[in-house]
A = this chain, B = another copy of it.
Amino acid sequence: MKNPSHTKEIHRLNRLIGQLEGIKRMIESGRYCPDILIQTKAIVSSIRSLETAILEKHIKCCVKNAIQSGTDGEEKVSELVNIFKTRIK
């Protein structure tokens, strides 16, 4: 049985796949390049939203619980700092 809390993410991913299928059709029909780039930019934005949602859940549950329980708070904080280091723009 599918975890109900994942429904939203799966829905976003299905929509992303639909957007990529749309770009395939644009390329196959020789559409104007700058128009294709507008669509790929929209896809990157959608992936960013998905990533932010995943990270938000991670910080609010996993990182917070680890710090509160005192089990592996240090490790989770270092891991989070590393995610920021590689993704900050």
Residues of A within 8 A of B (CB): 2-3, 6, 9-10, 13-14, 16-17, 20-21, 23-24, 27-28, 30, 33-34, 36-37, 40-41, 43-44, 47-48, 50-52, 54-60, 62, 64, 67-68, 70, 73, 77, 79-81, 83-89
Query: Residues of B contacting A88 with CB < 8 Å?
Result: 48, 51-52, 55, 87-89
Count copies of this chain in the complex.
4
CB-defined A-B contacts under 8 Å, sample of 24: A2-B28, A3-B30, A9-B27, A14-B24, A16-B20, A17-B20, A17-B21, A33-B57, A34-B79, A41-B86, A44-B44, A48-B88, A55-B84, A55-B88, A56-B81, A56-B85, A59-B77, A59-B84, A64-B67, A67-B68, A68-B68, A68-B73, A84-B84, A84-B87
